[in-house]
Amino acid sequence: MTPRQIVEKLASFPNRGVATSHDIPVLEFLTGLFTGRQVARESFKTPKTYISVVWWLIGGLVTGLLTLNFLPVAGLFLTLVFVTMAMLYFNWYASPVTGFPPLVKSYNLVVKTENNHTSKPKKLILMAHWDTAPISVLYRPEMVGNFRQSLKISLFLMIAAQFIAILQFLTPSNFVMLIGNILAFYFLLQGVIGTIDYFRLGYSNGASDNATGVAAAIATAEKLWNKNLENLEVELVLTGAEEVGMIGARAYMKKHYTEFHKGTYLLNFDTLGNGNLKIITQTGSWSNIVYDNDLIQIAKQAVTEVPALKNVSTGAWHTADFDSVWFQRAGIPSLTLAALDTNGRMPNIHRPTDILSNVDFLPMEKAIILAEKIGEHLNNT
Ligand SMILES: [Zn+2]
């Protein structure tokens, strides 16, 4: 199948939400693409969507703030626990809240070539998430430009809530309590705004986010496998539950960490169906996560060598994060390829308009060219 046909097939499912009726058929379709390869379907536990995570965090925080009214010590304890978990989750660190019920089962698809008994000095992991996201009003064009700023404001107000709790515990007063109650109301409102479209509209179709990334990762893997590279082992990992908080990628890393060595690299593909192809060098919400490693250098070099990649440049993305974040933080040279429009946005993502008719295949085609080149470079140097 061509990458374009893979996108078309994936987009023919209404959505690819985790633990919906579509996820197994999607995984079966993907598995069927790899005759003669080793395909493992690796399961892990995850919340079904980030919606339950967000409501645990808001519910705990609001309960903590309201409890301050009559039992300050319990209120202080609750706010401390939930503010800490929220800070971790929204800064894309592992947070215990992602283990809170209800949990469902999701899957990563790990694909290798049969003949990798001989260990090669380098290993390239090609990654893309197959799942699609709940539709959210926060991704409407007029809102998404402020995503990072509003997230930062919410995180700041969570820290403020923590101080309110400490203050109310030490020197209780009606004024402090009033501010605490107003904050509780604000968080409730944020929760409703952030999640209401999921209850109204369900999941996005995900033609761009991330059928295009899956197709690009598969096409790159096939091209590199067919070259029988001498020094580079190539592994394809299609992750689930990225949209819950990069849960599948973390599960894969935990399971396979011992197989990684200093010649291990991660190349992630996310949302390549609109705008211009970018080598993402900065992500993060409160703090900046800066990607600056061998893989980035190789990608920049490759761009100068291939005329078709002439307009590919570096980019930043601060609206949620990518599967690569765990690997980047663990010191594994990592790179995400994504496409951004001239405003630095990903049009249509997490909206009902992320459908096939709005996909431009050019950034995906370029990503495949670039990724193949990166693989060749890794093999040759
Ligand atoms: Zn995505």
Long-range contacts of 63-67 (CB under 8 A, 24+ apart): 64/161, 64/165, 65/161, 65/164, 65/165, 65/180, 65/181, 65/183, 65/184, 65/187, 66/180, 66/181, 66/184
CA 66–ligand 1 middle distance (angstroms): 36
Q: pLDDT at position 26, please?
A: 98
pLDDT at 143: 83
Q: Residue 149 burial (CB < 10 Å; 0-12/13-18/19+)?
A: exposed
pLDDT number for residue 213: 98
Give yes or no: residues 43 and 71 share one domain.
no
User: For each of the chain's 381 residues, which pLDDT tens digit applies?
Assistant: 999 999 999 999 999 999 999 999 999 999 999 999 999 999 999 999 999 999 999 999 999 999 999 999 999 999 999 999 999 999 999 999 999 999 999 999 999 997 656 689 999 999 999 999 999 999 998 888 888 898 999 999 999 999 999 999 999 999 999 999 999 999 999 999 999 999 999 999 999 999 999 999 999 999 999 999 999 999 999 999 999 999 999 999 999 999 999 999 999 999 999 999 999 999 999 889 999 999 999 999 999 999 999 999 999 999 889 999 999 999 999 999 999 999 999 999 999 999 999 999 999 999 999 999 999 999 998
| Angstrom distances, CA of residue 236 to CA of 240, 295, 336, 377 | 13, 17, 14, 18
Distance between Cα 95 and ligand 1 center (Å) = 20
Report the pLDDT value the prediction gives residue 129, as an integer from 0 to 100. Answer: 98
In this prediction, residue 135 carries a pLDDT of 97
What is the distance in A from the centroid of ligand 1 to the CA of 301? 26
308 alpha carbon – ligand 1 mean position (Å):
25
CA dihedral 15, 240, 100, 67 (to 10 degrees): -60
Q: Are residues 80 and 91 in the same domain?
A: yes
CATH of residue 231: 3.40.630.10
Asked if 289 and 325 touch (Cβ cutoff 8 Å), the reply is yes
Same domain, 348 and 363: yes
Same domain, yes or no, for 371 and 313?
A: yes
> Is residue 134 reached through a cis peptide bond, with omega within 30 degrees of 0 on the bond before it?
no
Domain boundary among 201, 233, 250: 201
Q: How far is CA 312 from the centre of its chain?
A: 22
- Cβ neighbours of 51 (radius 10 Å): 17
Last residue of a domain, one of 177, 201, 225: 201
Question: 93 and 107, same structural domain?
Answer: no
- Biggest CA–CA distance in the chain, Å, is 72
CA of 117 to the centre of ligand 1 (A): 33
pLDDT of residue 144: 84
Nearest CA-CA partner of 140 in 319, 15, 267: 319
The residues facing 45 across adjacent strands are: 105
User: How would you classify the pairing of strands 37-47 and 289-290?
Assistant: unpaired
Same domain for 58 and 207? no
Residues 370 and 231 occupy one common structural domain: yes
Distance (angstroms) between ligand 1 centre and the Cα of 158 equals: 26
Q: What's the CA-to-centroid distance between 322 and ligand 1, angstroms? A: 7
CB count, 10 Å around CB of 156?
11
CA–centroid distance, residue 163 to ligand 1 (Å): 35
CA 333 – ligand 1 centroid, Å: 20
Report CA(209)–ligand 1 centroid distance (Å).
5
Return all residues near 115 (Cβ < 8 A) that are at least 6 apart: none
Instruction: Give me ligand 1 centre to Cα 136, in Å.
Output: 14
- Cα(10) to ligand 1 centroid in Å equals 14
Question: For residue 188, what are the domain limits?
Answer: 52-98+139-201
Strands 122-129 and 334-340: unpaired
The rounded Å distance from CA 213 to ligand 1 centre is: 8
The contacts of residue 142 (CB under 8 Å, 6+ apart) are none
CA of 283 to the centre of ligand 1 (A): 13
Distance from the alpha carbon of residue 211 to the mean position of ligand 1, in angstroms: 9
Which residue matches tokens 């663990």? 330
- Ligand 1 mean position to 12 CA, how many Å? 18
CA of 49 to the centre of ligand 1 (A): 14
Ligand 1 geometric centre to CA of 320 (Å): 9
> What's the confidence (pLDDT) of residue 381?
87
User: From ligand 1's centre to the CA of 240, what distance in Å?
Assistant: 11
Asked if residue 262 and residue 149 are part of one domain, the reply reads no
Give 207's DSSP letter.
I
- 270 CA → ligand 1 middle, Å: 5
Find the DSSP H helices in 118-275: 141-144, 147-170, 174-201, 213-226, 242-245, 247-256
Q: How far is the CA of 129 from the centre of ligand 1 (A)?
A: 7
- The verdict on 43 and 92 lying in the same domain is no
User: Rounded to the nearest whole angstrom, what is the distance from the C-alpha of residue 349 to the centroid of ligand 1?
Assistant: 8
Q: What pLDDT was estimated at residue 147?
A: 86
Which of 152, 179, 201 is the last residue in one of the domains?
201
Same domain, 73 and 156: yes
143 phi and psi angles, rounded to 5 deg:
-100, -35
Q: Which helix (H) or strand (E) holds 289?
A: strand 289-290
Distances 87 to 1, 97, 162, 317, 358 between C-alpha atoms, Å: 43, 11, 12, 19, 35
263 CA to centre of ligand 1 in angstroms: 26
Q: E strand or H helix at 4, and its extent?
A: helix 3-11
In this structure, the answer to whether residues 178 and 279 fall within a common structural domain is no
Residues 179 and 217 in one domain: no
Cα(241) to ligand 1 centroid in Å equals 10
Count of the separate structural domains present in the chain: 2
**CA of residue 370 to ligand 1 center, whole Å:** 19
